[in-house]
Amino acid sequence: MKKIYITDLDHTFLRNDLSISDYTKNIWNSHAKSSIMGIATARTYKKTMEFMQGVTINAPMILLDGALIATQERKIIDTKLISKEIGDAIIQEGIKFGIYPFVISLADKNLNEAFLYSHILNDVQKIVLSRYAKDDNLIEQKNLRAVDENFKIVYMGDEMLLKALHESLESLFHDELKYIFAPEAYVGCYFLTILHKDADKSHGIKSVSEALGFDLTKLTVFGDNFNDVGMFALAGKSIAMQNAQEGVKCQADIVLEHTNDEDGVARYLEGLL
């Protein structure tokens, strides 16, 4: 039976400048000849395809923290969506704290995504939007509302503010939703991501396993952050980057000597050849 390798992207497979070295591409693609090679990321379909040019992926992709499972050919395997009613309630709760989110939604069945945002932005959100300025899926709304099919709702800002909002949302929705509250390394703030209760990478791994019929004991996963630990619990072998959060390292079977900027995933895979 083939071995399976699934990697996180940001701060794991991608370098900090969001590039992938030719060395990493060559090592990864050489394994794809005899193994199942996949990804699990918080990124959208569109951004993932941009980053992974020249990289072979021969398994359905786990996208948007597990809210979407889809192939490179835009075939949707599974979705875990937030309804408009709940999405609007989340936005209204955020308004009480003086902050608006980004809302990442499904625009159509061809996997086009909508990135909705308010005209009221904090400094961190302005930086993030400046990096997406060339994208054609940005939609500004003066009265921000969710749509019918929402992948996730993301707040970015001050740690204490988002912590208070996190606690408030949990008191309202309890375990009806999933929450990821963690540092955001690219712009130096915190983020709070709200998802469907079953939208996570571990559920994504199960969906991909069912689609391809592989044995989870043959699975090796790579990650760096707390949204990766669900994968760690399922995989036969879990591997944390040297730059991973300390709480993630202690849950991994192996901690690499190298960081994402040092091609840690590829160095590990090369050692197996």
pLDDT value for 196: 97
pLDDT in tens, 32-63: 999 999 999 999 999 999 999 999 999 999 99
| Sheet order of strands, 61-63 included | 61-63, 68-70, 76-79
CATH number for the segment(s) 84-196: 3.30.1240.10
Three-class DSSP category at 256: coil
**What is the bridge-based pairing of β-strands 237-240 and 150-157?**
unpaired
pLDDT value for 235: 96
Residue entry with tokens 């060339």: 134
CATH number for the segment(s) 4-79+199-272: 3.40.50.1000
CATH 3.40.50.1000 location in the chain: 4-79+199-272
pLDDT value for 81: 97
Residue 182 has pLDDT above 90, yes or no: no
Token duo for residue 8: 């996180």
CA count, 13 A, side-chain hemisphere, 124 = 20
Residue 124 has pLDDT above 90, yes or no: yes
pLDDT value for 133: 80
pLDDT in tens, 197-230: 999 999 999 999 999 998 999 999 999 998 899 9
pLDDT value for 184: 84
CATH 3.30.1240.10 location in the chain: 84-196
pLDDT in tens, 89-101: 999 999 999 999 9
Distance from C-alpha of 14 to C-alpha of 40, rounded to nearest angstrom = 12
Distance from C-alpha of 52 to C-alpha of 77, rounded to nearest angstrom = 20
pLDDT value for 188: 86
pLDDT value for 212: 92
Distance from C-alpha of 158 to C-alpha of 112, rounded to nearest angstrom = 30
pLDDT value for 132: 85
Token duo for residue 115: 């990135």
pLDDT value for 94: 98
